[in-house]
């Protein structure tokens, strides 16, 4: 067997200021091709050299080689060009045979060929032709095609234009995971834009996802899942809602990963962190985490722990370094591995029953109406933070009965106010939810130094009765 070195010498030299192909441009007294030949000739494992050029520039051997060139083995100065050159893509088009079929650890047909759109007439086609012709089947099960990387304005990147992005600079400024996040967030089916402003914006998205994980880790620091885990039927409803939101995230991301739709996976992950967790669940449970009794706190911690474990596994294919950093702080249960990349992806469970989903969709709609009223009260200087508010909800009978099934203290936590009063009848500011009006006033009483809620029964020690009980005072 002999080793053949193939030199593909068909490129244009216009960017170097020449109308000639690059291989015929003279640098340091020799053509680029002569420099390349010199490198190949010195390689001890190359037995033969084949040069592939455009037909318009086919020259005889003595016209190509520098004067005085001779074979190192025999000293001959007469060279003959090879005449048995096929399609330049033939070699790569036969890799399914030379590589995949020859190695026991690989498979044939392969799962996927992935390249740019130009390979439909190149590698994809040559591989298909050679495999079908000799084996009667395609060498791949799937083909994935991607666009090109362009600048922020959609223009092709060129050194001469100075619009390129150096990955090492991005990694230096933001870390390697930001580059991975950019890849995942991009729609690769079209040309992908890259620029410093794009990476800056992505760094903000990265920060929000990282902070979500930090909140969860910070609030399970004293949680041992082997002994502190609370059973599902003992959790608060909102905890079960959060677990279901994570379950839906798992289903979405598994499907997105299965279909190579990484941008959908990224957006699902980002929305979960910002909308479901930061803007709602983690905000609501702060009181339980910081101020409630042990059981209520353990319920919230149980949900946070379970969400964090699945969240980190789902995050790993996109932010591999960050996910491992998170995983190193996650309390382990038996069977859990030291490295998250070796964990199995979480499996999506059956969706929650329709009644549960419908109930919480309605609660979220009511909360949206309440938030607008609280924002107006804040703008009017009636309240500062939402915990200064006493909220009165004016309901028709159906809405009243619905809300009255929820304990008032839990309802106050859902809206992040000190107190909620339900009144059957008309009143307040109407929103989207039919049969509901809302009004906000400053809550009566004094501010508890521990939970920051306003309560008429705050004692001389500055604590509300609940906090005093929790502290044993």
Q: The domain that contains 435 carries what CATH number?
A: 3.30.2320.20
Domain identity same for 418 and 331: no
Query: Which span out of 22-31, 82-91, 459-468 was modeled with the highest average pLDDT?
Result: 459-468
| pLDDT value of residue 4 | 77
Q: Is 333 found in the same domain as 201? A: yes
- Residues 248, 317: one domain? yes
Burial of residue 207 (CB within 10 Å: 0-12, 13-18, 19+) is exposed
Task: Give the integer Cα–Cα distance in Å for 290 and 138.
Answer: 61
> What is the per-residue DSSP string for 246-315?
HHHHHHHHHHHHHTT-HHHHHHHHHHIIIIIIIIIIHHHTHHHHHHS-HHHHHHHHHHHHHHHHHHHHHH
- What CA–CA distances, in Å, run from 141 to 89, 109, 260, 349, 467? 20, 7, 14, 29, 63
Q: In 10 A of CB 314, how many CB atoms?
A: 23
Q: What is the pLDDT of residues 133-188, one digit of tens each?
A: 889 999 999 999 888 888 888 888 776 777 778 888 888 888 899 999 999 999 88
The arithmetic mean of pLDDT across residues 237-249, rounded, is 96
**Residues 237 and 371 reside in one and the same domain:** no
Residue 21 is classified by DSSP as B
- Is 76 inside a domain boundary? no
User: Helices 320-327 and 176-185 meet at what angle, rounded to 10?
Assistant: 120
Is the pLDDT score of 325 beyond 80? Answer: yes
Residue from 89, 6, 88, 93 nearest 47 by CA: 6
331 and 364 co-located in one domain: no
Q: Please calculate the CA angle 37-41-45 and round it to the nearest 5 degrees.
A: 130
User: In total, how many domains does the chain have?
Assistant: 3
Looking at the structure, tell me whether residues 214 and 336 fall in a common domain: yes
Q: Which residue has the tokens 């009978």?
A: 397
Helix, strand, or coil here: 276?
helix
* 3-state SS, residue 394: strand
Dihedral angle sign, alpha carbons of residues 404, 408, 410, 413: positive
Task: Report in angstroms the alpha-carbon separations of 329 from 80, 157, 207, 305, 309.
Answer: 67, 41, 18, 11, 11
Asked whether residue 412 falls in the same domain as residue 277, the answer is no
pLDDT value at residue 11: 62
Domain contains 41:
yes
The two beta strands, 140-146 and 110-116, are parallel
pLDDT band at residue 212, thresholds of 50, 70 and 90? very high
Residue 31, H or E segment? strand 30-31
pLDDT at 235 exceeding the cut of 60: yes
**What CA–CA distance (Å, rounded) separates 37 from 47?**
13
Please check whether residues 305 and 432 belong to one and the same domain: no
Rounded CA separation 453/419 (Å): 9
Q: How confident is the model at residue 30 (pLDDT cuts 50, 70, 90)?
A: confident
The pLDDT of residue 152: 82
Domain assignment present for 465: no
Please tell me whether residues 396 and 423 are part of one structural domain: yes
Checking if the pLDDT of 5 tops 80, the result is no
How confident is the prediction for the chain on average, in pLDDT?
A: 88
Examine the domain organization and report whether 336 and 364 are in the same domain.
Answer: no
In a domain, 17, yes or no: yes
Q: How far apart are CA 319 and CA 206, in angstroms?
A: 9
Does residue 186 sit within a domain? Answer: no
Q: Is residue 170 a contact partner of residue 179, using CB atoms and an 8 Å limit? A: yes
Q: Two tokens at 231?
A: 């059973």
The more confident residue out of 50 and 378 is 378
Give SS3 for 449: coil
Q: Which domain holds residue 386?
A: 360-442
Query: Is 169 inside a domain boundary?
Result: no
- Given 18, 48, 64, the domain boundary residue is 64
Q: Establish if 196 belongs to a structural domain.
A: yes
Residue ranges of E strands in 53-160? 110-116, 140-146, 149-150
Tokens 């001389």: give the residue: 460
Q: Mark whether 245 and 364 lie in a shared domain.
A: no
Q: Distance between CA 254 and CA 111 in Å, rounded?
A: 18
Residue 94 lies in a domain: no
Token reading at 47: 């037995």
Does the pLDDT at position 13 exceed 60?
no
Q: Which of 299, 315, 342 is the last residue of a domain?
A: 342
CB 191 within 8 A of CB 154: yes
- Do 383 and 338 belong to one domain? no
């Amino acid at each position: 067997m002999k080793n053949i070195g193939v030199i593909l010498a068909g490129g244009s030299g216009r960017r170097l200021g020449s109308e000639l192909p690059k291989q015929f441009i003279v640098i340091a007294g020799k053509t680029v091709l002569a420099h390349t030949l010199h490198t190949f000739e010195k390689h001890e494992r190359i037995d033969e050299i084949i040069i592939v050029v455009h037909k318009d520039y086919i020259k005889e051997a003595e016209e190509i080689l520098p004067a005085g060139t001779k074979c190192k083995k025999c000293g001959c100065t007469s060279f003959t060009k090879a005449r048995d050159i096929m399609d330049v893509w033939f070699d790569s088009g036969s890799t399914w045979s030379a590589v995949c079929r020859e190695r026991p650890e690989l498979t044939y047909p392969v799962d996927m060929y992935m390249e740019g759109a130009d390979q439909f007439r190149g590698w994809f086609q040559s591989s298909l032709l050679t495999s079908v012709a000799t084996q009667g089947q395609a060498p791949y099960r799937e083909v994935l095609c991607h666009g090109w990387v362009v600048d922020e304005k959609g223009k092709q990147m060129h050194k001469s234009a100075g619009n390129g992005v150096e990955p090492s600079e991005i990694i230096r400024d933001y870390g390697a995971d930001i580059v991975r996040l950019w890849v995942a967030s991009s729609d690769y089916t079209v040309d992908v834009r890259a620029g410093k402003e794009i990476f800056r914006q992505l760094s903000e998205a990265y920060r929000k996802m990282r902070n979500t994980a930090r909140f969860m880790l910070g609030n399970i620091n004293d949680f041992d899942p082997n002994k502190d885990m609370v059973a599902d039927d003992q959790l608060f409803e909102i905890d079960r809602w959060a677990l279901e939101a994570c379950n839906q995230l798992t289903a979405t991301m598994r499907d997105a990963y299965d279909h190579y739709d990484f941008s959908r996976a990224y957006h699902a992950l980002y929305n979960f962190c910002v909308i479901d967790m930061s803007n709602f669940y983690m905000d609501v449970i702060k009181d339980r985490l910081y101020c409630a009794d042990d059981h209520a706190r353990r319920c919230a911690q149980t949900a946070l722990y379970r969400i964090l474990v699945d969240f980190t596994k789902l995050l790993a294919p996109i932010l591999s370094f960050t996910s491992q950093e998170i995983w190193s702080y996650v309390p382990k249960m038996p069977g859990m591995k030291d490295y998250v990349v070796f964990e199995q992806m979480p499996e999506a469970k059956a969706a929650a029953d329709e009644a549960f989903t419908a109930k919480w969709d309605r609660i979220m709609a009511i909360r949206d109406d309440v938030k607008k009223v609280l924002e107006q009260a804040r703008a009017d200087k009636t309240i500062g933070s939402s915990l200064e508010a006493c909220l009165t909800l004016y309901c028709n009978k159906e809405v009243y009965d619905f809300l009255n099934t929820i304990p008032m203290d839990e309802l106050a936590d859902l809206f992040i106010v000190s107190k909620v009063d339900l009144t059957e009848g008309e009143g307040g500011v109407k929103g989207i939810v039919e049969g509901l009006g809302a009004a906000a006033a400053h809550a009566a009483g004094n501010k508890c130094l521990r939970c920051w809620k306003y309560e008429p029964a705050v004692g001389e020690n500055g604590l509300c009765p609940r906090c005093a009980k929790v502290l044993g005072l």
